[in-house]
Structure 1
Amino acid sequence: MKFWQKLVAVFIGVCMLAVQLPVSAGESDAPDITAEAAIIIETSTGRVIWEKNADERLYPASMTKMMTGILALEQLNMRSEIMMSREAAYTESSSLGVLAGERIRTDELLNGMLLESDNGAAVALGEAMAGSVTAFAGVMNGKAAELDMKDTHFVNPNGLTEKGHYSTARDMAKLARYAMENKAFREIVCQPQRTIHWTSPHTKIFHAHNTNKLLEKYEGMTGIKTGWTQAAGGCLAVGAKRDGVELIVVLMKTPTPDDRFSDAKKLLDYGFEHVRMVKGISQEKGYRKVWVTNGQQASTKLYPARDINYPLINGEDKSKYSIRYEVPKIVEAPLKAGTPVGKIVVSYNGKDVEHVDMLADDVSSGFSIGSWLVKMFSWAIRLV
């Protein structure tokens, strides 16, 4: 009898484990797709919902421009002008038509690159940041390392096929997730179309259309970036949001350009069917009190930058989520409201999955008895 009880217990345990693990390709309800590699992640945590050959190194094609785009937003003045070099102007598949020697504002060039997938625009942006394509590839690889993109190596800023230029679905999902945290990037890639202007030496316009055919056709679509070359096949990174759940799908090497869109719809549908969001901690209840030195008050409150909700994948248990506060015990005035001071770390089953900034209230510098006492006894406070 004991043997059968143990056997049943093991069986139940295996079943419970299966419920809590992300589904991989080949399981009974896995989406039927043409892509050689693919992944679905939940955006707020980056947790994997489903994957297929997600660590296979493949050509990423123009999904590469996500890296060029986010670096441009982080490093360049969007209102400055870029003069188109001969190398940039004569790069293949440069549909905007900015000629060598012409000047165009950085934000216009960036929009043209991300919507129309202009290869020359990517070269021009890379040159503006690092002086040359080769030097900029080094910047890209440095950022890739920062984002823990372990199976990625960039050679150019646009994704044209070159030896040594590769990535994986998993790494591209990390990049897409990071880029979509940038408000300006998110606003660009969700545009169905935009008129690109440049005025030097003559006024010109180009009507750019987003190459992402799912925009305005798939409910909740938020972007992100297409890719296609003969060697890479169809590549696509897309995001969508419904009922508080936001997903990112990356797929690589579909047989035809249209297959990437039909595959993405299947993967997004699958993801939304297998994830639900539950309430975690609100901004109002997630505050922490900290002491203040050199201020007009002795203490202040830090608040989460946003409400924290928990994605449950394949029927997971909310109780496996936990949080910890990584905030200082003492802060120094002045502090401007909204200044990040520490963070909340969200974990699932003991693994860190999300960081949320803790933001300060407005704290003016000055003098108060309480703040003076905090400074006097700061050594003791830190020991508590």
Structure 2
Amino acid sequence: MKVWQKIFSIFVGICMLAVQLPVAAGEGGEPDISAQAAIIIEATTGRVIWEKNADDRLYPASMTKMMTGILALEQMNLRSDITMSSAAAHTESSPLGVLPGERIRTDELLQGMLLESDNGAAVALAEAMAGNVQAFAGIMNGKAAELGMKDTHFVNPNGLTAEGHYSTARDMAKLARYAMQNKEFREIVAQPQRVIRWEAPKNKVFHAHNTNKLLGKYEGMTGIKTGWTQAAGGCLAAGAKRNGVELIVVLMKAPTLDDRFKDAAKLLDYGFEHVKMTKALSRERVSRKVWVTNGQQASANLYPAQDINFPLINGEDKSHYTLTYNVPKVVDAPLKAGTPVGQIVVRYNGQDVEHVDMLAENVNSGFSVGSFLVKIFSWVLKLV
């Protein structure tokens, strides 16, 4: 065999070996994590920055309580009392220690559930909302469908291991992103600790500590929820915000309790290294005019509820983003200042990624010639 043929054969062999051997995790700047599944998303748009087995169906453990918590915030009177049932009180892993017949306010129970990951608290909230756990699971699954969680099915409100109770890192990230858009939820999960107080007996309290060990230790940490069972392994949904960039990471089936926090820190570091924000629209510089009927003026200005920034991943160009103003041509008075009237739709490569409300200035009801003419023209155009 000629020399050049030998060299070529060696080169081909090396190439084949390179194809056959998997690239070790961590090479090429990829995050080196122990969790079986994980995902990093940008919080304002939900765009995926990095993922690993993000569609594997796994046990979500107590990350389930994000769903129970957001439903409680949306559906319950937080100042109402809950009397602890025997079933709720005797649920395993309930560190608050609420006994059967004791009364505790809904917001206190909710805080204890999200901070201490109390399983009995989740059952009590479920019973208060739906009568029983099974009925509440139906509400959870309806909300999951609404959020586009296509690979999720809940059978209980706390995440204790059960057949048919599963989710994915991608779906849990959708849930975490949605929950963190709720101001009250966001405030609860950001607390390192809180004193939980009973209504009866009046003197009973519990000093709850957030199970998220990254709070106060990872720069910019905003929350959100831990999870652990023997079957699920270490689970964690965690959020952080730095320099205008907000990220959410979800990881599932880490080998140990501590591994989930180490993995989350690596994932957040990776995300912050690969995402930059660029300003697209300043709310002070943008307005849209709409015509007004039945008002003391013929037109009103609409303003964006907030600045709009585009997350750019891995140095991409912002030309992939577009803004569309989805606002009516005519509105009826009265309008209170700050009333949402239409939206700005943010799209990335043609896909909706964010909706920002357009807010009205104050418009009083009454009569003006201009407003009357608007009403006439609007009526005529509808007939055409």
1:259 paired with 2:259, answer yes
Q: Quick one: distance in 1 between partners of 2:382 and 2:344?
A: 19
Deviations 1:55-91 (A, max 9, x none): 1100000000000000000000111101101110000
| Structure 1 residue matching 2:109: 3-state secondary structure | helix
Alignment check: 8 A CA contact 1:329 1:382 kept = no
* Partner Cα separation in structure 2 for residue 122 and residue 159 of structure 1: 9
Q: Report 1:266-285 matches (<5 A).
A: 266-285=266-285
For residues 231-270 of structure 1, the aligned pairs below 5 Å read 231-270=231-270
Q: Structure 1 regions of 5+ residues with no counterpart? A: 1-24
Tell me by how many angstroms 1:285 deviates.
2.5
Counterpart of 1:106 in structure 2 is 106
- C-alpha distance in 2, partners of 1:134/1:143? 15
CA drift of 1:157 comes to: 0.3
Equivalent residue number for residue 162 of structure 2: 162
**Partners of 2:57 and 2:269 in 1: CA distance:** 26
Identity of aligned residues (%): 80
One-letter amino acid of the counterpart of residue 256, structure 2: T
Equivalent positions of 1:1-384 (< 5 A) are 28-379=28-379
Q: How far apart, CA to CA, are the structure 2 residues paired with 1:183 and 1:303?
A: 21
Aligned residues: 360
Residue deviations 1:24-65 (CA, integer Å, cap 9, x gap): x78722100000000000000000000000011000000000
Render the CA deviation track for 1:321-354: whole Å, top value 9, x for unaligned: 1100111111111111111111111011222111
The 3-state SS of whatever aligns with 1:126 is helix
Larger-Rg structure: 2
- Would the aligned equivalents of 2:26 and 2:32 in 1 still touch at CA under 8 Å? no
* Mean CA deviation greater in 355-364 or 139-148: 355-364
- Give yes or no for contact 1:329–1:381 (8 Å, CA) kept in 2: no
Q: Deviations over 1:95-132 (max 9, x none)?
A: 00111111100110000000000000000001111010
Which stretch of structure 1 is more off in the superposition, 370-379 or 25-34? 25-34
Q: 1:205 to 1:289 in 2, by over 3 A?
A: same
Residue aligned with 2:251, SS: strand
Q: 1:215-254 CA distances to partner (integer Å, 9 max, x unpaired)?
A: 0000000000000000000000000000000000000000
Q: Report SS of the residue matched to 2:285.
A: coil
Q: State the alpha-carbon separation in 2 of the partners of residues 381 and 263 from structure 1.
A: 60
Q: Which ranges in structure 2 are unaligned for 5 or more consecutive residues?
A: 1-24
- Alpha-carbon distance, 1:170 to partner: 0.4
| Residue type at the aligned position of 2:363 | V
Q: Assess if the C-alpha contact under 8 Å between 1:220 and 1:241 holds in 2.
A: yes
SS in 2 for 1:338: coil
* TM-score (norm. length: structure 1): 0.92
Query: What is the distance in 2 between the residues matched to 1:39 and 1:147?
Result: 17
- Partner SS state of residue 29, structure 2: coil
Question: What secondary structure does 2:65 align onto?
Answer: helix
> What is the alpha-carbon distance in structure 2 between the residues aligned to residue 285 and residue 146 of structure 1?
34
Task: Give CA-to-partner distance per residue, 1:135-163, whole Å, 9 cap, x none.
Answer: 00000000000000000000000000000
**Partner SS state of residue 163, structure 2:** coil
Q: CA contact under 8 A between 2:295 and 2:333: conserved in structure 1?
A: yes
Aligned-pair CA distance for 1:304: 1.0
Relative to structure 1, the CA distance from residue 383 to residue 248 in structure 2 (aligned partners, 3 Å threshold; closer, same or farther) is farther
CA distance in 2 between partners of 1:27 and 1:378 (Å): 63
Which aligned segments of 4 or more residues in structure 1 are displaced greater than 6 angstroms? 381-384
Aligned letter for 1:207? Answer: H
2:184 and 2:129 map into 1 onto residues whose CA distance is 18
2-structure distance, mates of 1:199, 1:139: 28
Change beyond 3 A, Cα 1:299–1:383? farther
SS in 2 for 1:39: strand
Q: What do the CA deviations read for 1:266-302 (whole angstroms, capped 9, x no partner)?
A: 0000000000000111112232110111111111011
How far apart are residue 203 of structure 1 and its match?
A: 2.0
